[in-house]
Amino acid sequence: MRVFRNATLPDGRTRDVAVADGKIVAVQSNLFGETEVNAAGKRLFPGMIDVHVHFRQPGFPEKETWETGSKAAAAGGVTSVVDQPNTEPPTIDKGTFDQKAALAAQSLVDWGINGGVTADWDPEGLLSRPVFALGEVFLADSTGDMGIETSLFEEAIRRASETGTVVTVHAEDASHFDESARERDDPGAWSAYRTPTAETVAVAHAVEVAQEFDAQVHIAHTSTPEGIDQAAAAGATTEVTPHHLFLSTDDLDELGTFGRMNPPLRDEDRRLAVYDRVADGTVDIIATDHAPHTREEKDASIWDAPSGVPGVETALPLLLAEAEAGRLSFERVRDLTARNPARIFDLPNKGRIEAGADADLVLVDMDTTREIRGEDLHGKTDWTPFEGMTGVFPEMTMVRGEIVWEANDASTGAGSFGDPTGRNLRKRMDEP
């Protein structure tokens, strides 16, 4: 049995936390074990559940792999990830699901695989597999060109409702893109093109269809306060990405095409309003939309560069720095990254530090911060849109009781990784 002695939990209590056989077995005072970790003065969090990553396999291993992506996740305190379907081939039937699941065996962290919806999808075959959720279902084209028509979206919602499957929606309506922005070539042109209205109209449509079929819809990467409020009023859940939380169009002069993503960055007033909704509990989840591209690909015109930025290693460190500065509570960080994802996506063993839960734990020293540098991160890309910002990175990350990351140099983020021990989040631990 391993015991974290005198750890400060997100709610401020100081407790010993005992781990054995992959589970948390006790949370109380005066525990002792064969192995003890001195956690006095440090904080212990449940591992982040990132329900929105693009680990790029199969199809684009030069951008990311399950091995490199999961190492970045572990080094950033993420203990579970959910991969999206827009790979090559896309994950739209049982064969492509099985292909991706075999690659996920390289993962250090637990994983889920979302099923995609296209004109060629095989819903019966796909839903015969342990998919995490449907989606992200694209209501406008993004990376992978998987945008679908309304009738197909309604079919996907109906099938999801029948099987009790959550539908994750990429909410943008291309009919509200501003074509006049295409006359521009500055970095802000992409934000002008994919308008805030495109998001709000698509959110309204998605929640209306969900209500018609009594389906559970989760709106991915909401970038506007209006979209967040619409979803919340309709009973849908929402996620916000770190880039929409911490960056705005004010940063585009410095970021250039490295700040292009879908949906795009919004103006500073909208960013601040989104932050308010993250802080006050309106937003349910922080998820990264980790979508790496090579530096060579991004170094192009605003119309030719691919959309997407890396973020799985830096999300929790950025949020912890916000909590240390007093702008978010530690409990709010826990809820956004662990408790709420576990609740929304029915992961009863995840997201909490309680006896009986999986021992997915992250130990951090809040007095140890460092500047984020792309060259120090562990994914395949050597760049980050958060260059120079301050983060609080984990000393140790544990997945079901196994140490998958242990830092040994706080100044650079160097450390050692464990073995690939990740499992499908939709399978029981006693399944092969």
| Cβ neighbours for 52, distance < 8 A, ≥ 6 positions apart | 82, 84, 136, 168, 220, 221, 239, 241, 287, 288, 289, 290
Cα distance between residue 210 and residue 233, in whole Å: 13
Residues belonging to the active site: 289
| Cβ neighbours for 419, distance < 8 A, ≥ 6 positions apart | 108, 402, 404
Cα distance between residue 411 and residue 196, in whole Å: 39
- What tokens were used for 37? 């970790």
User: Which amino acid type is present at position 142?
Assistant: S
Question: What three-state secondary structure class fits 210?
Answer: helix
**In sequence order, what are the beta bridge partners of 81?**
50, 111
Nearest to 395 by CA among 376, 384, 409: 409
Cα distance between residue 89 and residue 407, in whole Å: 36
Cα distance between residue 47 and residue 108, in whole Å: 13
Ramachandran angles phi, psi of 112, nearest 5° = -130, 155
Cα distance between residue 225 and residue 281, in whole Å: 13
User: Which amino acid type is present at position 176?
Assistant: H
Helices (H), 235-344: 242-246, 252-255, 268-280, 295-298, 315-324, 330-334, 340-344
Cα distance between residue 87 and residue 427, in whole Å: 22
Task: Establish how many alpha carbons lie within 13 A of residue 397's alpha carbon, considering only the half-sphere containing its beta carbon.
Answer: 31
**Other C-beta atoms within 10 Å of 333: how many?**
22
Question: What three-state secondary structure class fits 232?
Answer: helix
**Contact (Cβ atoms closer than 8 angstroms) between residue 284 and residue 237:** yes
